């Protein structure tokens, strides 16, 4: 990963190249030295060729080709070397010359190596068979191990498939690593877009994008479509030709050209019944100052250039010298890097360009931070925000797998002790240690693979459930699936887990086995020191790992609880809302539109059950914030006092009342605040305390910095959480809609009586004014408040599930280790009981020996938790990552679980019958 | 292995090199392209075959490099020797005879064969 561009080297390719690098060692050294680099280059090339398809089949084909190639060429090259060296030996050493006609040389297929390979293969088969027989004879052990591993590997597979689909996999555009977002640190005007285009040379195509909305009117029906205005290079940036018709040309952007549009495949099928003759048709598509547009193209199916659904694309029309060209800061910039340009070069060039443009007529703002003036890959700009969280979740399930491995390692150890005599006998009659270690490892790897297969099935079944748990703001979840690379991941994980938990018992074999033979019967003595230490370590590890996960989950739960208690700033109950987007064609004039809104408000107010109604340009808890800069009392607010962003709200009289936002000073807006009256507005307490901390805000003068008329502050109202509950309230200005020119979209906020029938009656009332006006996003405000909590709730749910899993697995594991310890000490306990110890004493001793490792595990886990919980701090709200109450609670819970897990085996051990024990039954 | 007994991979490699010198990747691409993706040369088979063919004197590493602007010094270019051309011609004419027979027996569509 040398340069930033290789960051996006697909994970599967990376793995394939590494694996192939290892496999090259199978070739004779000389051959490898001569050709390894060339061969790796061929592999990379092969992968690039097949991988754009990206699918399972494509990557499987590459793997299959490489495997076949290795299978055929490795034996051939090795044979060639042997032939050569034998030839050389025959020439130099006459003793070795046993005649020219030895069978194995004439026919390479019966070479001695060949038969040793066959031997090796058959011994592997024997190992597997032997292991399977062992599993059959110990069904309990096998079932528990497989289930434990299936849980661990299944959870990892499922989460990895998400991480892979969302974060790792390249975007599905041709050459997607070359598509970049040019981020100068702020929104751009058309003039600035042109300026950047002239000052830079890194891109083969660029596309400015301005988010937009259009209304498609067909007969009586009207539909609001999200979309964008784009510059002519748009399709070249993404490298995807339209399915029908053409993309935009330079002419389409000229001011007096015929208005055109491209539509998405989705809209084409939905609204135009996949009409193949659509290109050239003129439809009523209102928005961006036009009412009709000619459709020139239909975008390819699955073409999703933005994070939002773009059903309509229209060309940017901005004439040089107009307000639209110079002052409308609404564009962001996408581009395709020339293949020879690196991101670093593009970044350097962009900074120089911005410095140049800052002084020119483009008046480019220099951003304060270099990170904001940068060029990032589109992939990075899409998934950069969630990447950290995704890896964190993967790490959390990794911990689960570790706990599962510890559990199975313990089971294996118990089994290995029971089989110590078997191994001792096998060693005594001549089995090599290596052979026995291999046997043990084959068993554990086989167990891992079986567990992995079951886990894979579980992941397959559970994937849709997982996707429904995941927060809705995670991008690209449509790309999640179990493809070849996920399968490879699962296989690798299974084998690695098998190695991990098999290594401990296998290494135990390397200690001397003779004592096992000398003992009368296995398992009647006290435990060996090594075994004891191992048990201790396993319990410590399980408890410590569980503490970390449970602590993370605990913090998230508390954070969610805190969030639940946040007051949104208005009364959510019995509040309903919907959006109106009246068409430009039916209300072309401002005055006309105001009249229309007035009629609608009157009608809705008259609906039975509605107590209050108001309207706003941006609905709380869902709408983004439109920021403006302000001036006060005759002069612009100095930069150090100017709030970073003042949100601009346009409301109707009655809005404050309908929302039940508290009025702190002055008055609210009334019907008399019309266009011809004195310009007035309200501020929220955040802005009031910011601008006039110790004085009254009433009667103050405010204006937008762009030179719009002054208005007088007549009221101060409470703060409202405008974006999400977790984001703090921002400074806000509220102005009456009658005094504002641009209100093409309006959200009605309706307060109703209890047991109200719902929005259907409101729809009817609106239809009685205008049958065609599009109504959208109708819902109860309580639902919106709920969905604003959805993301934190989803993370909390996910981590809680993982913590429960860890807790369960940990408890089972600790209990298993302690039961085993107690059963090994049955003989000793019997002696103690015979010598007069009470059962209470026995339980007491057992608990003490069981709880010591639990306590050590808690302490270590607490340290680890203190060190790692700050990783989740980005997901927390109102809770610090080291919240003492939560950490104490976690210690208490896990201590309790540990104690309970120890108590059961301790109680059982005290029920030993000393007589039977001493007799050695 | 004698010069007139070529493996399928060697035959394809010689065919790929017949019109111009190529490096390993170039051979892979040419073979894949000419056979519509039917024959995919894996790296082991490719370089194993090249090594043997160099030893047999069928191909040699080219001394002339292409124009340096498009060149990568790590690449090795291969060139068909006279002996290689001869082997290729022998093998190709053998296949030509096979094709003739197939045509005579109406197994092949004539257009497809030519």
Helices A884-910/A790-824 angle, 10° precision: 30
Decide if B1 is inside a domain: no
Tell me: pLDDT of B71 over 50.
yes
Residue A479: inside a domain, yes or no? yes
In total, how many domains does chain A have?
4
Q: Structure tokens of A647?
A: 């949100």
CB contact under 8 A, B40 and A39: no
- Asked if the structure places residue A119 within a domain, the reply is no
Range of the domain at B99: 8-113
Residue A570 in any domain: the answer is no
Q: 3-class secondary structure for A616-674?
A: ECCCCCCCCCCEECEEECCEECCCCCCCCCEEEEEECCCHHHHHCCCEEEECCCCCCCC
**Residues within 8 A of A (CB atoms), B 11-70 only:** 24-25, 28, 40, 42-48, 51-52
A766 and A870 share one domain: no
Regarding whether A606 and A497 lie in a shared domain, the answer is no
A814 pLDDT more than 90: no
Q: Is the pLDDT of residue A741 over 80?
A: no
Residue A757 and residue A658 in contact, taking contact as beta carbons nearer than 8 Å: no
- β-pairing, A630-632 with A635-636? antiparallel
Domain that holds residue A57: 1-94
Chain B hits for A46, CB-CB cut-off 8 Å, are 28, 40, 43
A575 within a domain of the structure (yes/no): no
Q: How far is B111 from chain A (nearest CA, A)?
A: 31
Judged by CB atoms closer than 8 Å, whether chains meet at B28 and A66 is answered as no
Q: Residue A682: pLDDT band by 50, 70, 90 thresholds?
A: very high
Predicted local confidence at residue A230, as pLDDT: 92
CA distance A12 to chain B (A): 18
Cross-chain residue pair B48–A68, CB shorter than 8 Å: no
Interchain contact, A66 vs B43, CB within 8 Å: yes
Check if A46 contacts B (Cβ < 8 Å).
Answer: yes
- Each residue of A612-629: pLDDT tens digit? 999 998 888 766 555 666
Which of the two residues, A238 and A642, has the higher pLDDT score? A238
**How confident is the model over A237-247, as a mean pLDDT?**
90
- A764/A327: higher pLDDT: A764
Q: Are residues A429 and A559 both part of a single domain?
A: yes
The answer to the question of residue B44 being in a domain is yes
Confidence of residue A99 (pLDDT cuts 50, 70, 90): very low
A694-716 mean pLDDT: 82
Flag whether residue A23 sits within 8 Å of chain B, measured between CB atoms: no
pLDDT value, residue A354: 82
Query: Is position B102 within any domain?
Result: yes
Residue B3 lies in a domain: no
Q: How far apart are CA A837 and CA A826, in angstroms?
A: 14
Q: List, in sequence order, every residue forming a beta bridge with A95; answer none if it has no partner.
A: none
Give the per-residue pLDDT at A452.
92
- Looking at the structure of chain B, the number of domains it has is 1
- Cα–Cα distance for residue pair B63/B81, rounded to 1 Å: 12
The pLDDT of residue A97 is above 60? no
Same domain, A478 and A408: yes
Q: What is the pLDDT of residues A403-426, one digit of tens each?
A: 999 888 888 887 877 777 777 787
Considering only residues A244 and A463, tell me which one the structure prediction assigns the higher pLDDT: A244
Q: Which of B42, B51, B52 has its CB closest to that of A69? A: B42
Given this model, what pLDDT does residue A111 score?
41
Question: Looking at residues B6-23, what average pLDDT do you find?
Answer: 90
pLDDT at A535: 79
The tens digit of pLDDT for each residue in A179-211 reads: 998 887 777 888 888 888 888 888 999 899 988
Q: Which of residues 77-96 of B touch A (CB under 8 A)?
A: none
The distance of B110 to chain A (nearest Cα, Å) reads 33
Mean pLDDT of chain B: 83
Q: Please give the average per-residue pLDDT across A317-339, as a whole number.
A: 82
Let me know whether A21 and A66 are in one domain. Answer: yes
A53 CB neighbours in chain B (<8 A) are none
Task: Evaluate whether residue B37 is within a structural domain.
Answer: yes
Contact: A66, B45; criterion CB under 8 Å: no
As for the ipTM of the complex, it is: 0.86
Looking at the structure, tell me whether residues A802 and A752 fall in a common domain.
no
- Whether A552 maps to a domain, the answer reads yes
Predicted confidence band at A636 (pLDDT cuts at 50, 70, 90)? low
Task: Note the pLDDT tens digit of each residue in A102-135.
Answer: 333 333 343 444 556 777 777 778 888 888 888 8
Q: What percent of chain A has pLDDT over 70?
A: 87
Decide if A42 and B76 are in contact by the 8 Å CB cutoff.
Answer: no
Residue A447 in domain: yes
Ranking A138-152, A456-470, B58-72 by mean pLDDT, the lowest is: B58-72
Examine the domain organization and report whether A797 and A753 are in the same domain: no
**What does the pLDDT read at residue A263?**
93
Q: Per residue in A150-178, is it b (16+ CB within 10 Å) or e — as a string?
A: bbbbbbbbbbbbbbbbbbbbbbbbeebbb
Mean pLDDT of chain A, nearest integer: 81
Last residue in a domain, options A77, A94, A111: A94
Q: Check whether residue A473 and residue A400 sit in a common domain.
A: yes
Eight-class DSSP state of A165:
I
Whether residue A560 is found in the same domain as residue A590: no
Q: Which residues of chain A have a CB within 8 Å of the CB of B52?
A: 80
Q: Is the pLDDT of residue A912 over 50?
A: yes
CATH of the domain at B30: 1.10.10.10
pLDDT tens track for B22-62: 888 889 989 988 888 888 888 999 999 999 999 889 999 88
- Domain end position, chosen among A94, A116, A141: A94
Classify residue A246: in a domain, yes or no: yes
pLDDT attached to residue A110: 39
A612 touches chain B (CB under 8 A): no
Spell out the residues 6+ positions from residue A140 whose beta carbon is closer than 8 angstroms to its own.
Answer: none
């Amino acid at each position: 990963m040398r340069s930033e561009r290789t960051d996006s080297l697909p994970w599967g390719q990376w793995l394939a190249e590494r694996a192939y690098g290892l496999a090259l060692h199978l070739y004779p050294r000389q051959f490898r030295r001569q050709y390894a680099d060339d061969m790796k280059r061929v592999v990379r090339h092969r992968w690039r060729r097949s991988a754009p398809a990206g699918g399972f089949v494509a990557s499987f084909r590459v793997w299959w080709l490489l495997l076949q190639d290795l299978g055929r060429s490795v034996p051939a090259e090795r044979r060639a070397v042997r032939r050569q060296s034998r030839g050389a030996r025959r020439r130099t050493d006459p003793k070795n010359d046993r005649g020219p006609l030895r069978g194995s040389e004439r026919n390479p297929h019966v070479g001695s190596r060949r038969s040793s390979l066959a031997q090796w293969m058959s011994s592997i088969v024997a190992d597997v068979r032997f292991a399977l027989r062992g599993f059959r004879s110990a069904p309990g052990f096998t079932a528990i191990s497989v289930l434990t591993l299936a849980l661990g590997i299944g959870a990892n597979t499922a989460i990895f498939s998400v991480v892979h689909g969302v974060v790792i996999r390249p975007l599905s555009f041709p050459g997607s690593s070359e598509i970049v977002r040019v981020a100068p640190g702020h929104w751009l005007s058309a003039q600035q877009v042109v300026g950047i285009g002239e000052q830079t040379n890194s891109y083969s195509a660029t596309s400015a994008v301005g988010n937009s909305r259009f209304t498609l009117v067909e007969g009586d029906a009207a539909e609001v479509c999200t979309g964008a205005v784009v510059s002519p290079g748009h399709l070249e940036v993404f490298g995807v030709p339209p399915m029908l018709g053409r993309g935009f040309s330079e002419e389409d952007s000229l001011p007096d050209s015929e208005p055109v549009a491209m539509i998405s495949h989705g809209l084409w099928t939905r609204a135009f019944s996949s009409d193949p003759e659509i290109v050239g048709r003129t439809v009523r598509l209102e928005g961006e100052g036009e009412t009709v547009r000619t459709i020139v193209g239909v975008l390819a199916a699955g073409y999703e250039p933005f994070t939002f659904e773009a059903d309509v694309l229209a060309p940017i029309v901005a004439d040089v010298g107009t307000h639209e060209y110079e002052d409308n800061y609404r564009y962001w910039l996408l581009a395709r890097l020339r293949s020879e340009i690196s991101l670093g070069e593009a970044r350097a060039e962009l900074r120089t360009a911005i410095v140049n443009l800052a002084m020119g007529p483009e008046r480019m703002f220099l951003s304060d931070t270099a990170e904001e003036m940068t060029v990032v890959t589109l992939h990075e700009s899409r998934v950069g925000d969630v990447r950290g969280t995704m890896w964190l979740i993967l790490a959390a399930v990794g911990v689960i797998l570790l706990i599962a491995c510890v559990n199975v390692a313990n089971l294996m150890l118990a089994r290995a002790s029971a089989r110590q005599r078997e191994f001792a006998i096998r060693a005594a009659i001549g089995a090599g240690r290596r052979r026995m270690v291999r046997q043990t490892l084959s068993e554990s790897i086989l167990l891992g693979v079986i567990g992995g297969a079951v886990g894979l099935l579980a992941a397959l079944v559970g994937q849709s459930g997982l996707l429904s748990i995941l927060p809705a703001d995670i991008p690209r979840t449509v790309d999640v699936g179990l493809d070849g690379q996920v399968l490879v991941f699962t296989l690798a994980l299974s084998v690695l887990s098998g190695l991990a938990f098999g290594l401990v018992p296998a290494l135990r074999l390397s200690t001397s086995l003779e004592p096992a033979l000398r003992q009368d019967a296995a398992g009647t003595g006290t435990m060996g020191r090594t075994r004891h230490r191992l048990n201790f370590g396993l319990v410590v590890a399980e408890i410590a790992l569980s503490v970390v996960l449970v602590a993370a989950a605990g913090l998230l739960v508390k954070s969610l609880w805190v969030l639940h208690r946040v007051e949104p700033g208005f009364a959510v109950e019995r509040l309903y809302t919907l959006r109106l987007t009246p068409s430009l064609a039916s209300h072309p004039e401002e005055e006309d539109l105001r009249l229309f809104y007035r009629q609608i408000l009157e009608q809705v107010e008259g609906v039975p059950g509605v107590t209050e109604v108001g309207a706003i340009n941006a609905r709380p808890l869902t709408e983004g914030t439109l920021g403006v800069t302000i001036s006060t009392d005759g002069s612009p607010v100095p930069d150090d006092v100017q709030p970073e962003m003042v949100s601009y709200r346009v409301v109707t009289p009655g809005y404050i009342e309908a929302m039940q936002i508290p009025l702190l000073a002055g008055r609210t807006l009334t019907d008399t605040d019309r266009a011809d009256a004195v310009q007035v507005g309200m501020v929220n307490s955040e802005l009031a305390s910011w601008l006039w901390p110790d004085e009254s805000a009433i009667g103050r003068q405010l204006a937008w910095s762009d030179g719009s008329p002054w208005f007088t502050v007549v009221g101060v109202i409470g703060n409202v959480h405008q974006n999400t509950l977790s984001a703090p309230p921002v400074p806000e200005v509220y102005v009456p809609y009658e005094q504002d020119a641009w209100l093409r979209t309006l959200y009605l906020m309706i307060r109703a009586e209890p047991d109200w029938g719902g929005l259907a009656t409101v729809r009817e009332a609106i239809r009685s004014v205008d049958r065609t006006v599009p109504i959208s996003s109708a819902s109860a405000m309580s639902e919106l408040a709920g969905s604003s909590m959805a993301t934190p709730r989803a993370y909390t749910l996910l981590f809680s599930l993982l913590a429960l899993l860890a807790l369960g697995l940990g408890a089972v594991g600790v209990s298993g280790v302690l039961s085993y310890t107690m059963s090994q000490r049955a003989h000793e306990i019997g002696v103690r009981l015979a010598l007069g110890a009470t059962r209470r004493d026995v339980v007491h001793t057992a608990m003490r020996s069981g709880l010591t490792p639990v306590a050590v595990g808690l302490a270590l886990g607490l340290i680890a938790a203190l060190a790692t919980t700050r990783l989740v701090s980005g997901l927390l709200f109102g809770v610090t990552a080291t919240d003492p109450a939560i950490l104490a609670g976690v210690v208490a819970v896990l201590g309790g679980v540990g104690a309970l897990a120890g108590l059961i085996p301790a109680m059982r051990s005290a029920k030993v019958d000393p007589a039977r024990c001493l007799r050695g039954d | 292995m004698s010069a007139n007994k070529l493996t399928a991979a060697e035959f394809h490699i010689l065919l790929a090199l017949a019109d111009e010198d190529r490096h390993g990747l170039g051979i892979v691409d040419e073979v894949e392209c000419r056979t519509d993706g039917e024959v995919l040369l894996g790296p082991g088979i490719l370089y194993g075959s090249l090594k043997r063919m160099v030893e047999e004197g069928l191909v040699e590493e080219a001394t002339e490099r292409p124009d340096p602007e498009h060149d990568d010094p790590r690449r090795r270019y291969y060139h068909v020797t006279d002996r290689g051309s001869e082997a290729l011609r022998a093998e190709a004419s053998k296949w030509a005879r096979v094709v003739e027979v197939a045509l005579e027996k109406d197994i092949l569509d004539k257009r497809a064969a030519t």
